[in-house]
């Protein structure tokens, strides 16, 4: 690339990046820094209290329970979601035009939370973990399917044709050709699914209230209840911890990906 072209690319790179960078700074980074500050102060008076809030959070039984529940739910829901999405995407990817089917699968995702809660109440009697898992899968599978389809349609068909010519069977083509090429998609799906775990709180809240069955008591329940009781200090400390965990998780995932 010539020096002039390089310069032009750099110029346009910043012009395109600046608005979103500023958006992230103003609406995410600065509030996060404010939250970090608040995690070391008292809720209303704002006096410095050292690590007291962190100590309170780590000795809080509800926080421990919410963390375990959220992680357990993620551990159960994400593999199921990823697998379900892929299993549906593979046959659908052979269709030349699957617009209507895709739209149907996306339908639950587009539904308002209140409607999802209503559907849950209508069709599922319980208010526990299996029902929450079903609601999560019902709502998110379509979205995951679309991501898988985008990944599948995105890599060159010649690779599969070449594998066929080399005598690879259907399973070999799947394991040796398709899946390794969908690593990038899988990474996106994992991150988005994990973030969606936090969003399922809305349905759980509408169905079972602020204090649901203890197995579906998630971090968002705790944060919501703390917010109502003006426990901003504990909330800030817990949010910093959760953010730290998420950062480590994402970096770890990235590291594992890069390693491969």
Q: Which of residues 20-59 bind another protein (CB under 8 A)?
A: 22, 25-26, 30-31, 34, 42-45
Taking the complex as a whole, the smallest distance from the CB of residue 211 to another protein amounts, in Å, to: 5
Q: From 48, 50, 64, select the one nearest 242 (Cα to Cα).
A: 64
Nearer to another protein, 115 or 172 (CB): 115
Q: Is 217 an interacting residue with respect to another protein (CB under 8 A)?
A: yes
Q: Total number of residues binding another protein (CB under 8 A)?
A: 30
Taking the complex as a whole, the smallest distance from the CB of residue 145 to another protein amounts, in Å, to: 34
Q: Is 226 an interacting residue with respect to another protein (CB under 8 A)?
A: yes
Among 54, 232, 237, 239, the residue binding another protein under the rule CB under 8 A is: 232
**The two structure tokens encoding residue 89:** 């995407």
Q: Is 62 an interacting residue with respect to another protein (CB under 8 A)?
A: yes
All residues at 6 or more sequence positions from 9 whose CB lies less than 8 Å from its CB, including other chains: 1
Q: Which of residues 135-194 bind another protein (CB under 8 A)?
A: none
Contact indicator for 244, 58 with CB cutoff of 8 Å: no
**The two structure tokens encoding residue 108:** 């639950």
Question: What are all long-range contacts of 110-119, with beta carbons under 8 Å and residues at least 24 apart?
Answer: 111/139, 113/202, 113/203, 113/206, 114/206, 116/203, 117/202, 117/203, 117/206, 117/207
How many CB atoms within 10 Å of residue 161?
11
Nearer to another protein, 230 or 251 (CB): 230
Among 115, 214, 244, 257, the residue binding another protein under the rule CB under 8 A is: 214
Chain positions contacting another protein, by CB under 8 A: 22, 25-26, 30-31, 34, 42-45, 60-62, 65, 210-211, 214, 217, 221-222, 224-233
């Amino acid at each position: 690339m010539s020096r002039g072209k390089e310069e032009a690319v750099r110029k346009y790179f910043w012009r395109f990046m600046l608005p979103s960078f500023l958006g992230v700074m103003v609406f995410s980074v600065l509030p996060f820094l404010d939250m970090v500050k608040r995690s070391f102060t008292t809720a209303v008076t704002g006096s410095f209290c050292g690590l007291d809030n962190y100590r309170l959070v780590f000795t809080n039984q509800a926080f421990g329970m919410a963390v375990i529940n959220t992680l357990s739910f993620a551990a159960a829901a994400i593999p199921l979601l990823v697998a379900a999405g892929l299993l549906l995407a593979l046959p659908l990817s052979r269709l030349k035009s699957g617009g209507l089917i895709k739209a149907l699968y996306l339908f639950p995702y587009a539904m308002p939370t209140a409607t999802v809660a209503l559907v849950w109440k209508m069709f599922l009697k319980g208010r526990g973990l299996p029902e929450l898992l079903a609601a999560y899968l019902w709502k998110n599978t379509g979205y995951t399917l679309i991501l898988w389809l985008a990944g599948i349609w995105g890599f060159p068909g010649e690779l599969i044709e070449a594998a066929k010519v080399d005598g690879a069977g259907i399973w070999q083509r799947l394991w040796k050709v398709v899946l390794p090429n969908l690593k990038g998609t899988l990474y996106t799906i994992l991150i988005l699914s994990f973030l969606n775990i936090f969003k399922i709180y809305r349905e759980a809240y509408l169905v079972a209230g602020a204090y649901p069955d203890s197995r579906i008591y998630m971090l968002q329940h705790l944060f919501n209840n703390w917010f109502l009781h003006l426990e901003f200090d504990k909330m800030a400390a817990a949010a910093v911890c959760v953010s730290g965990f998420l950062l480590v998780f994402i970096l770890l995932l990235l590291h594992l990906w890069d390693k491969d």
